[in-house]
Amino acid sequence: MRRLVWVLSLVACGDPSAPPPQTFEFGPYTLAAGQEINGQCVSVTLNNDEPLYVNAVELTTGPGFHHSNWFWVPDTEFVGADGTWRCNDRNYDEAVAGIVGGVLFAQSTQAQHEVQSFPPGAATVVPPHARILAGTHLLNIGDEMVSLSLKLTITPIASPSKLLTPTSFVNESIALPPQRTSHFTMDCDMDKAHRNVAGKPPTFSFYYALAHYHELGRGLSIEGVRGDGTVATIFSTENSVGDALGGMIDPPFSLDGYPTLRFTCIFDNPRTSTVTWGTGNGEMCTFLAWTDSEYTWAGGVIKTDEVPTITDYGNYIEYAYPCSPIGKLVE
């Protein structure tokens, strides 16, 4: 099993020529007991004339900040005053942000402090004239009013030796059976997908991964599967909601010799009803990873009515799905 290294230092590898870290603050936001606020966005325009090579991102929030996904986009997109605004007012959509820009960071569910850090010399690129923005989801699960703020710090380096691109897989067809433990598994043919776009088998490596599930989640794993069925763990976590669900993969895991990528979410549903994909009392099954591939990768199940192969092992039920990854060349 690969060891996950939790890096809390944001020192830019001792490089005196590196741009200084930049910190952005939003809020405060007040939530009554049980209140949920969805549909608020935050943004900051970087006014950067040169690309930023981001080695680390640190997020500090508070109780009630459920989740946020952060993107960079050109500063000609989603134009308006920086700060907090209604996402609908600028027709903000995460899929659009990912197409016109790229992923920067994703927050673990309910995590109040989290660091996404890459190895020395590795970075993801934020192009010149960029805006950083995120859709936010606030949910106060407590019995008292809370007031919280949001602080994001990015740490660039000057001369990266390795450029990283995002990979994201999702299973929106999950349906957790009542009062049972369930495994939702996808086998993704990375060999076929990579040959389709690059004409050769995949040899790129994973450097960082982040799981996303809600309170019924009991774990997530990403594995490489050889042609003979041998399995090796790329990343796994059994942390609960509120803990950081991501970490650096050290050493990086290469897909060389592993044609299949297996993605599994584990849930334990004590409720008397089936739980499906959704916010609030719903569940989610997704991961974000960073690789040194020349392509951004996405895949999984985005149809809520996808029919899986179901096997009951007694102590848990497994739902197995096919998966066809899609690769997009990074320009």
**What would the two tokens of residue 305 be?**
């009515």
| Angle (CA) 296 114 251, round 5° | 55
Q: Are 283 and 267 in contact, with CB atoms under 8 Å apart?
A: yes
Burial class (CB in 10 A: 0-12, 13-18, 19+), 228: exposed
Backbone dihedral angles phi then psi of residue 88, each to the nearest 5 degrees? -65, -25
> Shortest CA distance to 18 belongs to which of 10, 6, 27, 9?
10
Return d(Cα 215, Cα 267) in angstroms, integer: 9
In the structure encoding, which two tokens stand for residue 46, read together?
A: 């970087």
| Range with lowest mean pLDDT among 71-80, 115-124, 241-250 | 241-250
Higher-confidence position of 110 and 256 = 256
Q: Is a pLDDT exceeding 70 seen at residue 77?
A: yes
DSSP code of 108? P
Residue 10: band (very low, low, confident or very high) from pLDDT cuts 50, 70, 90: very low
Backbone φ and ψ for 190, nearest 5 degrees, come out as: -75, -30
Q: pTM, whole model, 2 decimals?
A: 0.85
Q: Which tens digit of pLDDT belongs to each residue from 33-51?
A: 888 888 899 999 999 999 9
**What average pLDDT does the segment 76-95 reach?**
94
Find residue 115's DSSP bridge partners: 58
Taking phi over 0 as left and psi of -120 to 50 as alpha, with beta for the rest, 96 belongs to alpha
pLDDT at 35: 86
Instruction: Using pLDDT thresholds of 50, 70 and 90, give the confidence band for residue 15.
Output: low
CB atoms within 10 A of CB 330: 13
Looking at residue 7, what is its pLDDT?
31
Task: List pLDDT tens digits, range 95-136.
Answer: 899 889 999 998 877 778 889 999 999 999 999 999 999 998
Which two structure tokens, joined as six digits, stand for 78? 């989603």
At 92, list the tokens: 């903000």
- Tokens representing 169 are 């897989």
Domains and CATH numbers, the chain: 3-159 (2.60.120.230), 164-329 (2.60.120.230)
Look at residue 14 and tell me whether its pLDDT is greater than 70: no
Interstrand relation of 205-212 and 286-291 (parallel, antiparallel or unpaired): antiparallel
- Is residue 202 a contact partner of residue 195, using CB atoms and an 8 Å limit? no
- Phi first, then psi, for residue 198 (nearest 5°) are -120, -10
Give me the count of residues in the chain. Answer: 331
Q: Which range is least confidently modeled, 173-187, 198-212, 293-307? A: 293-307
Asked if residues 166 and 75 have their Cβ atoms less than 8 Å apart, the reply is no
Q: What is the pLDDT of the chain when averaged over all its residues?
A: 89
How far apart are alpha carbons 40 and 137 in whole angstroms? 7
C-beta atoms surrounding 256 within 10 Å: 11
Is the Cβ–Cβ distance between 202 and 191 less than 8 Å? yes
Give the pLDDT confidence score for residue 111 in this predicted structure.
Answer: 76
DSSP string, 14-63: T-TTSPPPEEEEEEEEEE-TT-EEEEEEEEEE---SS-EEEEEEEEE--T
Rounded CA-CA distance 246/116 in Å is 8
Mean pLDDT of 294-312: 90
Q: Which residue has the higher pLDDT, 65 or 158?
A: 158
Contact call for residues 295 and 197 (beta carbons, < 8 A): yes
Do residues 245 and 284 lie in contact, with contact meaning Cβ atoms separated by under 8 Å?
no
